[in-house]
Structure 1
Amino acid sequence: MITHHRDGWIHAYMVDSGVFGALEPAAAFRPRPGDEVVESAVRPDLERVVYTTLNGVVCLTRAGDPVWTSNFEPHSDRPHGHRPGCALSPDGRTVWVYRPDAMAGRGGGDQWVVHDAGSGAVLARRALETVGHGAGHHMHPVDGSIYLDIGEGQDGSVNSEVRSAPTATRSS
């Protein structure tokens, strides 16, 4: 599943390697008024979307009703240099959120936070020793490991890995 932001909507596309031609959205979600979406992910059943803004993460139903939100504190007025990211686990039960707090001016380093996708409750939080601009979440197709590739601009990138349980972490 991939998402694309266009004309104020988040479009979800199901990608099948055996199908050729133009992709059509499988679902579309309208973010809350005033939200500028940075990154998004859609649950496998296409019923919920999770997206990040510069100052938080939001979960909405397909009808646009809020399920939960988590604000990044303190609020950052910096419009550039930091791009929070998110990804859903393959089963849609957890949301992985990268918070580039150092570049946002929130004090301290960056964070990697795992939320329960249904309630928004924080399941795990890891302080990172990075000053990143943004990051990409990558899921291993076989063992379910989740990798975070943090971009630190001219300083290169840092990779972190989590194996199954959100509290078991290792940096490389």
Structure 2
Amino acid sequence: MSVHARLRAAVPAPMPSTQAGPPEVAGLPGRRMLVQRSDDEVVAQPLDDAFVVRAGAGVRFPAPWPRSLGTWEVAPDASLAVFAGVHAVRAVDPSGATRWEVRHGCWYGACREMHESYDEYADRQDHRYPESGSVGFSADGGLVWAHVRGPLSEGELSPDTADEWLVIDAGDGRVLGRADAEAAAAGSLHLPHPTDPHQMGLSIGEGQDGAPLRWGRWDGKELAVYCLDGDLCLLGLSPSGDRLMTVSHDQDSLAVRDSRGAVVEALDWNAEAAIPRHSEAPTDTDASEDGLDVCWDWAGGFLDETTLVASTVESDEEWGQGRHWLVDTTGRHGFVPVDYPSPVSGEPTALGGGVWSTLSETRDVLHVWGLPGLEG
């Protein structure tokens, strides 16, 4: 049995793939926008419910440094873009003016300088491939959560603090709260609670060393950080925010958890047990010795409160077409392969409201997919 995906929209990228990173759909249903980053700017184009770009509503934010030197996010109302760079978190308005900046320690591991500007290290060979943090806007756009390398310019939490997690006022850049992230990141990603601006997920990658997962709560005075057990990559939150979708660092386990890290209702699946081997993979060899193990991709998310989209593209690609899976967490249907009207490339990205996207092979068009009866 399989489910048949329906193409909802084909959304062209605003910039050519030769000049920019892949386009993405950001925001929650009802406030979605198409965003894309080049070395020079970020483009944000509001989308209607049919994923059509709203005419004349696009915004461009000049970028303060190349896209290889950090990450970025656009505010839910597209009034501000925040760039997480090597030496600072900087908020920029559409004119290119700096709204505010929070300087921090350098993300190049051997550097102990407190840089004042990008120009200080722009031409330094040893800063070409730094590690990085990330930023995320709260659901209402009022807060910016930032994962940075310590110390801040005004001092550090303690001599042993490597990475800090900050809560920042999005309007004026005041650091409202600080906490030790208890990590030494190579990169990270924020996932905001969809309804509560005072909660945020932080998925941290430490390369081969692990994948710490943090959950933050800001009560207006103090930032409390919960360290979830295990090496877990956070892929998505359910529409209520009560459930997290995670994949283990070794890509063996896909699970649904609460914000304290506990698996919800035994919703934890081993890839080898849940997913059959690819139909084109050999069957007369030992999987563990010949690299035929099925593994989860670090991709997917919630389509609605009880339905996930997941994929096994990485382990499938040697044998043929990568596979996407619909996961019914109520147990009625289990894991069902997704059929598309034409071959798709890469991994799925859940957009909520019953839909998900895939990127064209040329990386210049986003295809938005849905299922009858599931789309909201």
Using the size of structure 1 for normalisation, the TM-score is 0.81
CA contact (8 A) 1:101 1:109 kept: yes
Equivalent residue pairs, number? 166
Match of 1:168 in 2: 224
Partner of 1:75: 114
Match of 1:48 in 2: 80
Q: Specify the SS of the correspondent of 1:69.
A: strand
- For 1:87, the aligned partner's letter is G
Identify the residue that residue 208 of structure 2 maps to in structure 1: 154
Q: Which residue of 1 aligns with 2:50?
A: 19
What displacement does 1:68 show? 0.7
Equivalent of 2:140, from 91, 108, 121?
91
1:10 aligns with 2:42: yes
How far off its partner does 1:8 sit? Answer: 1.2
Please provide the CA RMSD for this pair: 2.8
CA shift digits 1:15-71 (9 cap, x unpaired): 56x425789983211123xx2342111122222111111111111111112111111
Q: Is the 8 A contact 1:11 1:28 kept in 2?
A: yes
Using the TM superposition, name which of 110-119 and 42-51 deviates more.
Answer: 42-51
- Report which structure shows greater RCO (CA 8 Å, sep ≥6): 2
Match of 2:66 among 36, 54, 58: 36
| SS of residue in 2 equivalent to 1:137 | strand
- Residue of structure 1 aligned with 2:91, choices 52, 59, 67: 59
Structure 2: gaps of 5 or more residues:
1-25, 27-33, 106-112, 116-120, 122-126, 152-158, 229-376
Structure 1 residues 88 and 143, CA, compared in 2 at 3 Å: closer, same or farther?
A: closer
CA drift at 1:84: 2.0
Q: Over alpha carbons, which structure has the higher Rg?
A: 2
Instruction: Please list the CA deviations of residues 132-172 of structure 1 after superposition, one character each: whole Å capped at 9, or x if unmatched.
Output: 10111112335553110100111220101023536232111
113, 125, 130: which one aligns with 2:183: 130
TM-score w.r.t. structure 2 length? 0.40
* Larger relative strand fraction: 1
After TM superposition, the runs of 4+ consecutive aligned structure 1 residues lying more than 6 A away are 21-25
- Of residues 79-88 and 90-99 in structure 1, the stretch that sits farther from structure 2 once superposed is 79-88
Q: Is the 8 A contact 1:111 1:125 kept in 2?
A: yes
Contact 2:138 2:193 in 1 (8 A): no
Distance 2:181 2:98 in 1: 29
Q: Which amino acid aligns with 2:203?
A: D
* Corresponding residue SS for 2:208: helix
Question: Are the aligned partners of 2:139 and 2:196 in contact in 1 as well (CA < 8 Å)?
Answer: no
Same amino acid, percent of matched pairs: 26
CA contact (8 A) 2:39 2:63 kept: no
